[in-house]
Amino acid sequence: MQNRYAAHPNEVKNYDTSRLREEFLIDHLFAKDELVTVYSHVDRYIVGSAVPESQDIKLEVNLKDIGTDFFLARREIGIINIGGHGTVSADGVRYEIGSKECLYIGLGVKEVIFHSGSGEAPQFYFVSTPAHHAYPTTKATQQEATPAHLGSIQTSNERTIYKYIHEGGIKSCQLVMGITELDPGNMWNTMPAHTHNRRSEVYLYFNLPEDGVVFHMMGEPEETRHLVVRQGQAVISPSWSIHSGVGTSNYTFCWAMAGENQTFDDMDGVKMTELK
Q: Which residues are annotated as a binding site for Zn(2+)?
A: 194, 196, 201, 243
SS3 83: coil
CA Rg, the chain, in Å? 18
Could you give the CA distance from residue 233 to residue 207 in angstroms, rounded to a whole number? 11
SS3 178: strand
Could you give the CA distance from residue 254 to residue 163 in angstroms, rounded to a whole number? 10
Contact indicator for 67, 39 with CB cutoff of 8 Å: no
Residues 6+ apart with CB under 8 A from 235: 24, 25, 26, 202, 203, 205, 216, 218, 227, 229, 243
Q: What is each CA distance from 116 to 60, 101, 102, 275, in whole angstroms?
A: 17, 15, 16, 45
Binding positions are 194, 196, 201, 243
Contact indicator for 40, 239 with CB cutoff of 8 Å: no
Tell me the sheet residues that pair with 40.
4
- Strands, sheet with 86-90, edge to edge from the N-terminal-most edge strand: 57-58, 112-116, 86-90, 93-97
Q: Of 224, 226, 206, give the one whose Cα is nearest residue 216.
A: 226
Distance of CA 265 to the CA centre of its chain: 18
Query: Dmax of the chain from CA atoms?
Result: 54
Q: What is each CA distance from 97 to 36, 65, 103, 117, in whole angstroms?
A: 19, 28, 8, 9
